[in-house]
Chains A and B, each alone.
Chain A
C-alpha cells in the first residue's frame, strides 16, 4: 500500500511568529520515503464548521525519530484550530500525498523561492537537495519582518535573501523585485517556487521569458487529497489535472498560466 491514514502524536507545537506555527508529529509507524513538495491531509478535530481535512506541505522529516514537521499559517478556522493542537494530542494524517519537486543535479545552480506558508516545501527542498550550498540561493518573501518564520538554520544550505512588502526586512517589494531577478536570473539553471498564486505567476512569467526551468507547487482547494474527488483540478496542456495526485508540483510549461 502506498498511502496510509494514521494518528500522529503532537510532540511539539511552537509559535514561529504571530500567525505561523511549527508542529512536529510522531508517527506510530516507520515513515515511508517522503520528498519535498509532498503533503499530508490533516484531520482537524471534528466540528460541523471544519468538515474536510486540510492539506499541509511537509516541512521536515526525521526518519530516525519518526517525526514530521508542518508549518501552519493561520488563514481561517481549520488552520486556527490546528495551531491550537496541544502537545500529547493526536492528529490524523493521510500521507504521503502528491508528487514532489524534481531533484536538481549537483551541478545545477538553483533558486528556491518561498512566499508565505509556501516556505515549507521550499526549505525542505533546500535541506535535502544534493546541490552544494554554493549553488543554492534561497529567496523568502513576506508581508513584513514579523511574518517571517525563523529560518536562520537555512543559511547553511544556501545564500539566503529576503523581501518584505513594507521593507522591514531585506529588499522592499515582492520576490520578483529582488535584484536576483534583475541581474543574475539567467545564471540559474532551475527555479523552484511555492507561495501565493500571484507570486508564483510572477515568478513563472520571469522564468518563462528567460527560458529557465521552473517548477511551482500549487495550493488548490482540495476535498480528498488523494485523487478521487476531482475538485482540485488545474488546467494544463494535458487537460484538467488533479493538483493532489498529478501535482502539487508542476513544471510551468505544462500550466496554462
Chain B
C-alpha cells in the first residue's frame, strides 16, 4: 500500500483528493452514492452569515468543455448550518471544511468566529473569489491590499487551518498568493471560476440571468494548471490545485505543477464517483512509477 497522506497546515489528510466547494453540497448528497469518508476532505457549499437566496434562474449555461454558473452563494446562513446541517454531518470521518464568504470584512470575521466553535470543522476555506455576488466575494480577491486585509483580520480570530481560495481573474495570481501568505494563511486553494459569459444568438439574450458567470470544467484546466505552477513557485505554504480536473492524469499534472492536494469540482456533476476514481488512480500511478508515497511526486515536482 502506498502512502497517500498529505499535510496542510497542522492538518493531516488521508489522501490529496478533495471535493470542491459548491460541487458536493453539504456532503449528504454525495453520501447517496458512496461512503464520503473515503475522500481526502470535503469543502462544503459556500456559506454566508445570513440566508442568501442566490441569483435568479437561469443560473447555468453549458459551454464547450465546461459550464458557466451564476448560483450566487445560495445558502441558508450560518445559524441554519450550525443548528441543522452540522449535527447531521459532523461524524463523517474525513475533514469537513467550511467555505466562508462575506460581503464585508466584519461578516467574514463573524462567520469565522461562529465556525470556530464547531469541534468537527478543523479548517476553513476563505472564499475571496466568488464571481457571482454583487458585494464582497471576488472583490476581496483581486487586489493585494484587500486580500491582505481580510486574511489579516480573519487570522486574528482563527487558530485552526486557514486556507484562502484565490480568484484567477487577476493579472498576477502569484502576487496575491504571496500577499495572503504574508498575512498568515496556512494554504492557498486555486482556482475559483473564471468570469465568463454566453449569449443565445437565436433568442438574442444572455444565457444567464446575471449575464456573466463563473466558468469551470476542462475548458479552464490549462490556465488553472499554469496558475498553480506560478503560485507553487512563489509561496512556501502548500497549494491546493483546482480547475477542470476530470481524471487521475489531470490530478497528477496539478501535483507535478506543485499542488500538495487537489479538488474535484465540475467533474462531480458528470460523475459523482470521479474523486474516488482519482484516489485509486493515484495509487496505481504511484505503484507504476515506483513511489511509495504521494509526497514523492510532490517533492519530485517539475524543476522548472
**A interface vs B, CB < 8 Å?**
1-5, 43, 48-53, 92, 94, 220-235, 239-240, 245
- Do B65 and A94 have beta carbons less than 8 Å apart? no
CB of A226 within 8 A of CB of B32, answer yes
Contact B268 A224 (CB under 8 A): yes
Q: In the complex, what's the smallest C-beta–C-beta distance from A149 to chain B, in angstroms?
A: 26
Q: Is the CB of B32 within 8 A of A230?
A: no
Q: Number of contact residues on B: which range applies?
A: 20 to 34
Q: Which A residue sits closest to B268, measured CB to CB? A: A228
In the complex, chain A residues whose CB is within 8 Å of the CB of B54: 230, 233, 240
- Give the chain B neighbours of A51 by CB distance below 8 A: 62-67, 217-218, 270
A223 to chain B, nearest CB (A): 5
Q: Is A240 a contact partner of B32 (Cβ separation < 8 A)? A: no
| B residues in contact with A235, CB < 8 Å | 57
Contacts of A230 in B (CB 8 A): 22, 45, 54, 59, 71, 74
Please tell me if the beta carbons of B57 and A1 are within 8 angstroms of each other in the complex. no
Nearest chain A CB to B157 CB, angstrom units = 29
Nearest Cβ in chain A — how far from B166, in angstroms?
Answer: 22
Tell me whether A52 and B67 are in contact (CB under 8 A).
yes
Q: B residues near A, CB below 8 A? A: 22-25, 29-30, 32-34, 45, 53-54, 57-60, 62-67, 69, 71, 74, 217-218, 266, 268-273
B32 x A228 contact (CB < 8 A) = no
B32 touches A49 (CB 8 A): no
CB nearest neighbor in B for A234: B57
Asked if A48 meets B60 with Cβ closer than 8 Å, knowing A5-B33, A227-B29, A229-B71, the reply is no
Contact, CB under 8 Å: B23 / A3 = no
Q: Once the chains are docked, how many angstroms separate the CA of A226 from the CA of B271?
A: 11
For this complex, 19 residue pairs linking A to B, each with C-beta atoms less than 8 Å apart, are: A1-B32, A1-B33, A3-B32, A5-B271, A51-B67, A52-B62, A53-B269, A221-B57, A221-B60, A224-B272, A226-B29, A226-B32, A228-B24, A228-B269, A229-B69, A231-B58, A232-B60, A233-B54, A233-B59
Q: Kindly provide the distance from the CB of A77 to the nearest chain B CB, expressed in whole angstroms.
A: 10
Are B23 and A228 in contact, with the CB atoms below 8 A?
yes
- Which A residue sits closest to B19, measured CB to CB? A228
Among A224, A227, A229, A235, find the residue whose CB has the most chain B CB atoms closer than 10 A. A229
A232 to chain B: which residues have CB within 8 Å? 60
Partner of A223 from the list B30, B33, B60, B272 (CB cut-off 8 Å) is B60
Q: How far is the CB of A256 from chain B (nearest CB, A)?
A: 11
B68 to chain A, nearest CB (A): 10
- Contact residue among B59, B66, B69, B270 (Cβ-Cβ distance under 8 Å from A43): B270
Closest Cβ of chain A: how far from B80's Cβ, in Å?
A: 11
> For the complex, what is the distance from the CA of A174 to the CA of B138, rounded to whole Å?
47
